[in-house]
Amino acid sequence: MLEHADRLDLGDRFAAGRGYLAACTLGLPADVTRDAVRRDLERWSTGSASAADYSATLERARVHAAALLGTEAERIATGSQVSVFAGLAAASAPAGAEILCIDGDFSSVVAPFLARGDLRVRHVPLDALADAITPSTWLVSYSLVQSATGEVADLATITAAARTAGALTLVDTTQATGWMPADAVEADLVVCHAYKWLGAPRGAAFASFSDRAITEFTPHTAGWYSGTDPWASCYGPELHLADGARRFEVSPAWHAWVGAEAALGFAASLDLESVRRHDLGLANAFRERLGLEASDSAIVTWPDETGCDLAALTVAGLVASGRAGRARVAFHLWNDDEDVARAADAVNGSRRPLVLS
């Protein structure tokens, strides 16, 4: 368990938080995000909101997203969902191409490739992913942190194997960005939805594209926001495409991005290595109290086929989740040692044998 010096003191930035162990399901907005959404609602309702202001907000969010992923703003495309970006990769794959996925990974980085119907999609265990990459692999698609188990992929080894084989890589950092640094993720397509660990409204996602991805992927979702200047590409008959990642952009959900800009800016202002230490310290303290081995993930899961442990957490007033026959909790900025104790007591209490008098 980490020393108290490694704990963050950010609980007052969130209206809720005590007992909330579901950052991996639906995050909580920080005060700046909540206030931004409220101001936007007021401006919209009074008719003082403008498209130009929303576009400026999106550009600020793009800069924050680039900082979180360790790249330049011109390599960032904004969108609504991870599966849309993955779908662009799937639609651009040659017929018969091999796509390598993790067995049991989140559907958004798997389903678009299966839906094509003419691709060879292979699924392997997480720890076998790097070794399964061959020269016939066109793209490796995987989540950096697994949603169902919380396992963290060996990014460096997988990236090196893909480079050697000449394969493209797609990495989903939705369950990573926000609790751990993701600015060193090297992939042809890095995708992230901001509504979990980043605490943004749902409907705001972003992705970074490598030069190869920009060249080889077709912008099938091209629209008026896919040009260098969206306000100059509102009408045909010409095709207006930006030179960089913006060509993969879709028209933004303005209200969601008002909250997302504030949320991403807040996250980008934090020392994410300190956040990682804080979150892992709590997660591993909880694991220790349940008799589980320490891990490198802020998501803790364990077998709970009957749902008894999840039910015990709920009865204790804690917000948790269940996935794939496992109970799942996550520790983030608003959590502290008291949350660890309450959660551990709830689970351990549900396992004590009933003593009849």
Q: How far apart are CA 189 and CA 199, in angstroms?
A: 22
- pLDDT tens for each residue of 39-65: 999 999 999 999 999 999 999 999 999
pTM of the model: 0.93
Assign a CATH topology to domain 35-268: Aspartate Aminotransferase; domain 2 (3.40.640)
Q: How far apart are CA 100 and CA 142, in angstroms?
A: 8
4-30+272-349 belongs to CATH 3.90.1150.10? yes
Residue 196: per-residue pLDDT: 97
Q: Which residues of 250-262 are buried (b: 16+ CB within 10 A; e: fewer)?
A: bebbbbbbbbbbb
Residue 350: per-residue pLDDT: 74
Specify whether the CB–CB gap between 153 and 144 falls below 8 A. yes
Q: How far apart are CA 350 and CA 327, in angstroms?
A: 13
- pLDDT tens for each residue of 178-236: 999 999 999 999 999 999 999 999 999 999 999 999 999 999 999 999 999 998 889 99
Q: How far apart are CA 281 and CA 296, in angstroms?
A: 10
Judged against a pLDDT cut of 90, whether residue 285 lies above it is answered with yes
Per-residue confidence band for 275, with pLDDT thresholds at 50, 70 and 90: very high
Q: What are the extents of the domains in the chain? A: 4-30+272-349, 35-268
Judged against a pLDDT cut of 60, whether residue 1 lies above it is answered with no
- pLDDT tens for each residue of 163-185: 999 999 999 999 999 999 999 99
Residue 8: per-residue pLDDT: 74
Asked if 4-30+272-349 and 35-268 have one fold, the answer is no
Residue 2: per-residue pLDDT: 37
